[in-house]
């Protein structure tokens, strides 16, 4: 038998999800069998798996102690370079990710990730101690491709993670990108609705019409400047799918310069670019001034000009 006292970072999630994270040695099948046997209790009362937990709850699981040997969780934070912090408050940190740093571990097997750097930063600052957490680790709220630079939001606690994810789902986090394309888009300004599918390990597919297995995407672009065979675009995402900008611009016959997956290999070689010139460099938050966990972000906007803009003779 083991009893968990639910802390602030454990609250707001289902009992089964909490136990799967808090007890890594507990097989999923055994956990749900334990629920069926009514051997999971909250405040002494039997509960179903979908019961949501609140801070201060006492959750008891009737199983041998061997399944709880790893709870509470304890782990050693790897020593990594610290991230570039653009903004920080009690709930979130806004970081600037460089090119060639994955946000999470990828198929290249890099031990250095932005998520890891974020944990390392919080551990060094004293804002996070894994030994004191049962189910929560600070997490990133958005992601970028390895070779895309720009802003990534990190949540320092569970409530902030839920709140920021809700803002993103509600399109109240306005994300804009600058990119250089090989060729000009069809119009000076347009909002393009298309349909997107990506199977793991493959390039994204774009369809102009609905198709089975494809999800709608909405991509807004504005042609800021152009010279020779290059163009500087401002992109506003109204949906967020894997490789959305890269695949959509390629579908419009103006792929990102340097994009080895969707771009023009001949043009990339001519300019000696080996990764896409794309930066998530403008970010605004639509958050109420008062009464919201993240009200500190009310009215805040963040922006920078990526180096490639000046390098190719553009200005913003």
Q: What is the pLDDT of residue 200?
A: 82
Residue 300's region, left for phi above 0, alpha for psi from -120 to 50, else beta, is: beta
Q: What's residue 76's pLDDT?
A: 61
Note whether 229 and 264 are within 8 A (CB): no
Residue with tokens 């782990």: 75
What architecture (CATH level 2) is domain 176-280? 2-Layer Sandwich (3.30)
Q: Is the pLDDT of residue 256 over 70?
A: yes
Which pair of tokens denotes residue 242?
Answer: 């894997």
Q: Do domains 76-170 and 176-280 have the same CATH topology?
A: yes
Calculate mean pLDDT across residues 246-273.
97
Mean pLDDT of the chain: 92
pTM: 0.87
Tell me: the pLDDT tens digits for 53-106?
999 999 999 988 888 865 444 456 778 999 999 999 999 999 999 999 999 987
Mean pLDDT of 151-158: 96
pLDDT at residue 253, as a whole number: 97
pLDDT tens, position by position, 163-198: 999 999 999 999 999 999 999 999 999 999 999 999
Which has more pLDDT, 306 or 22? 306
Give me the pLDDT at residue 280, please. Answer: 98
**Rounded distance, CA 109 to CA 200, Å?**
17
CA angle 110, 205, 191 (to 5 degrees): 105
Which residues, in sequence order, are bridge partners of residue 282? 176, 303
Instruction: State the Cα–Cα distance between residues 271 and 269, nearest whole angstrom.
Output: 5
Q: Would you say 173 and 285 are in contact if contact means Cβ atoms under 8 Å apart?
A: yes
Omega of the bond leading into 142 within 30 degrees of 0 (cis) = no
Long-range contacts of 114-118 (CB under 8 A, 24+ apart): 114/83, 114/140, 114/152, 115/139, 115/140, 116/78, 116/80, 117/80, 117/81, 117/82, 117/83, 118/83, 118/93, 118/154
Instruction: For 133, list phi and psi in degrees, rounded to 5.
Output: -110, 140
Give the range among 196-200, 261-265, 272-276 with minimum mean pLDDT.
Answer: 196-200
Answer whether residue 315 shows pLDDT above 80.
yes
Question: pLDDT band at residue 214, thresholds of 50, 70 and 90?
Answer: very high
Sign of CA dihedral 238, 242, 244, 246: positive
- Res 74: pLDDT: 45
Domain ranges across the chain: 2-66, 76-170, 176-280
Quote the pLDDT of residue 71.
47
Mean pLDDT of 110-115: 89
Q: How would CATH label the architecture of 2-66? A: Roll (3.10)
Which position has the token pair 């043009």? 267
Domain 76-170, architecture per CATH: 2-Layer Sandwich (3.30)
């Amino acid at each position: 038998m083991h009893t968990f006292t639910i802390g602030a970072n454990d609250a707001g999630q289902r009992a089964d999800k909490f136990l799967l994270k808090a007890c890594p040695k507990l097989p999923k099948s055994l956990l749900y069998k334990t629920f069926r046997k009514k051997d999971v209790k909250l405040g002494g009362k039997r509960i179903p798996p979908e019961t949501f937990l609140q801070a201060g709850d006492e959750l008891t699981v009737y199983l041998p102690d061997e399944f709880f040997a790893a709870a509470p969780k304890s782990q050693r934070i790897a020593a990594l370079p610290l991230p570039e912090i653009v903004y920080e408050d009690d709930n979130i940190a806004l970081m600037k990710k460089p090119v060639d740093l994955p946000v999470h571990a990828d198929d290249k097997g890099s031990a250095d990730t932005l998520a890891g750097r974020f944990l390392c930063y919080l551990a060094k600052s004293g804002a996070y101690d894994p030994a004191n957490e049962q189910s929560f680790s600070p997490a990133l709220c958005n992601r970028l491709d390895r070779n895309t630079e720009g802003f990534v939001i990190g949540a320092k606690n569970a409530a902030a993670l839920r709140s920021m994810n809700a803002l993103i789902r509600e399109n109240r986090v306005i994300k804009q990108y600058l990119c250089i394309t090989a060729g000009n888009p069809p119009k000076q300004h347009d909002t393009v609705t298309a349909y997107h599918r990506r199977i793991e390990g493959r390039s994204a597919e774009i369809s102009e019409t609905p198709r089975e297995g494809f999800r709608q995407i909405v991509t807004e672009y504005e042609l800021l400047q152009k010279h020779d065979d290059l163009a500087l675009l401002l992109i506003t995402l109204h949906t967020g799918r894997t490789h959305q900008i890269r695949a959509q611009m390629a579908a419009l016959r103006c792929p990102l310069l340097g994009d080895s997956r969707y771009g023009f290999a001949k043009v990339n070689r001519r300019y000696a670019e080996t990764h896409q010139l794309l930066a998530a460099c403008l970010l605004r938050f639509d958050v109420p001034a008062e009464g919201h966990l993240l009200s500190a972000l009310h009215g805040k906007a963040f922006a920078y000009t990526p180096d490639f803009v000046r390098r190719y003779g553009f200005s913003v």
